Structure 1
Amino acid sequence: MRYHIHHKTSYTYNQPVFLKPHLVRLRPRSNSWQTLDNFFIKITPQPVGISEINDLDGNSLQKIWFTAPTEQFALEIESEIETHIDNPFNFLLEPWALKLPMDYPNSLFHQLQSYLRPYSAIPDAIALALAQDILHQEKQDTLAFLNALNQHIYKNCSYVVRETGDPWEAGITWRNKTGSCRDLTVLFMEACRAVGLATRFVSGYQEGDLATDDWELHAWAEVYLPGGGWRGYDPTHGLVVSDRHIALVASANPLYTAPVVGEIVPVSPFMTTGKLVQSAMQTQVVVRLQNAGMSMSQSLKST
């Protein structure tokens, strides 16, 4: 599948501010699952410097910095991506990985430590109970557990739009049976980690309804399966991730997938103005399925 993505995010401030260095995580990753063919980013105001960064998970980030004060900060991104996973089940688990709890070999276990650590300060008892129930139901079968957990969250939890804020703890989401995509993803991850499965949080886009003009960033989980590598599960839609998901970044901690991160400082201090800095954010995302051979410029003219 070939997609054209147009993503705009803008921040407006109620007074002039200085923008401290910002990290931008809006460049789609490029690997065997998806190929980034074109990428363009426009930043307002014009930064004095842009540094390309490859982080520990192989994500492509931009660090940007500024000198002049501003009352607006905006990013506009155009991406062309081709996805390749038409069959997400095309892998063969290692024989020792067929049953749970997962017992990774010692060398692999140490590499996966950050992906096994609970999201909460202490392991979530509610997520553990959920995992144990499904583990028993599926007779400890690894793939059956993952599919059942994915479907169980999808069928029992209502999706809500929650544009800002950190993901809720897994127990809160499961107790309320409701959450945003990032809340449902953390619930899935915590249940997996409770049975020894390494997981990471993915931020990106999902095809959804191509007839709409109203998209937003989406979140799902990836599980490290020996013999299959990182494999995606989307509990918001009850799907195993294939060629209709476009990944931007992934991390053991959702904190490190935030699309834009940075601080602002008022030009005039509060003691002078008597005003606290306030900001308003607007985001617009459009995902279009492209015909083979259509260029970015042709797609732009049609949207």
Structure 2
Amino acid sequence: MRAHIVHRLTYCYDAPITLGEHRLCLKPRGHGFQRLLDHSLSVLPEPCQRRELLAASGDEILRLGFLGSTDQLCFEANSRVETRPAPPLDSCFNGMEPPLPYPRGQLNQDLLGALEGWLPNGQHEPSAIDLTQEALMGSNQQTLAFLNQLIELIQDRVKYTQRHAGPAWPAGRTLRERIGSCRDLAMLMVTCCRVVGLPARFVSGYQLLDPAPEQYDLHAWAEVYLPGAGWRGFDPSAGSEVNERYVVLATSSKPELTAAVSGSFSGPANTSSDLSWSISVDEEPANTSAPKQTLQAA
């Protein structure tokens, strides 16, 4: 599947301000089951410095520096992406599906950071451990059955809701509130996978729904490292494995590092900012022309 995605963000300030450094995760992944055909980014005011970097996750991140004052900051990312289905997981294991819990010592050392718990002592939250054990018991300790059972339990215990502001909640809060956004459910799945020795990380990107929703927004899901199959995406909000209708922007063991835009500003006391955004998608299925879908949000 091919898609042209235009992502616009505009920050308006009620007084002239000075912009600090900004970090952008707006460039889609260009490897694996996703190919980046073209990408451009326009920024107003024009930054005085652009620094590209390769993050620990392998994603391309951009840091921007600014001079002078402004009352507005605008970004427009234009990306053309081609995605393809991943091989069926059954075929990746060739009859050697790893049982769970997966032995930590058999993992590549590079993956250990994707196993850490979120509590100050590095442990996992008790409520997440309980949910994981329930999924494990219902799956006969088989990896694929565990992942399916875990997603079913998350959907049964937590009601999905949209929440545009604020960081991803820790697993314990999501289970306690019994309600959560896509990023909250993603963090819950990441935590539970880590409990059984499966490295997992948070993903930010786009889900290109068919039919298109009234309003597009960024989406979040989980990627789990499965020995024999590598990093594979799972979306507990949708209740399924990720397919070619998902476009990855950024991944990290820390969800805050996948924010589309993060940065700082300084100005008069009590200066406020207002964000508006729009995401438009021009989808190009094979041998089929699709009309442009333009969705606005403010």
TM-score (norm 2): 0.91
The aligned counterpart of 2:112 is: 113
Q: Do 1:12 and 1:281's aligned partners in 2 also have CA atoms closer than 8 Å? A: yes
Q: Do 1:23 and 1:62's aligned partners in 2 also have CA atoms closer than 8 Å? A: yes
SS in 2 for 1:236: coil
The aligned counterpart of 1:151 is: 152
Paired letter, 1:112: L
Q: Is 1:164 aligned with 2:162? A: no
SS in 2 for 1:132: helix
- Give unpaired runs (5+ residues) of structure 1: none
Distance 1:127 1:107, change over 3 A: closer
Q: Do 2:97 and 2:142's aligned partners in 1 also have CA atoms closer than 8 Å? A: no
CA distance in 2, matches of 1:94, 1:166: 39
Q: Do 2:204 and 2:250's aligned partners in 1 also have CA atoms closer than 8 Å? A: yes
Range with greater deviation from structure 2 (206-215 or 247-256): 206-215
Shift of 1:166: 1.2
Shift of 1:176: 2.3
- Give unpaired runs (5+ residues) of structure 2: none
**1:1-303, aligned counterparts within 5 Å?**
1-85=1-85, 87-89=87-89, 91-93=91-93, 98-106=98-106, 108=108, 110-121=109-120, 122-266=123-267, 270=268, 275-292=269-286
Distance 1:62 1:225, change over 3 A: same
CA offsets, 1:165-224, max 9 Å, x none?
Answer: 111111221222210000000111111111111101000000124443510000000111
SS in 2 for 1:20: strand
Shift of 1:87: 4.4
SS in 2 for 1:102: coil
Paired letter, 1:232: G
CA distance in 2, matches of 1:123, 1:256: 20
Q: Do 1:4 and 1:299's aligned partners in 2 also have CA atoms closer than 8 Å? A: no
Q: Do 1:17 and 1:70's aligned partners in 2 also have CA atoms closer than 8 Å? A: yes
Distance 1:177 1:88, change over 3 A: farther
SS in 1 for 2:89: coil
Percent identical among aligned pairs is 36
CA distance in 1, matches of 2:165, 2:137: 36
Q: CA RMSD in A?
A: 2.2
Shift of 1:146: 0.7
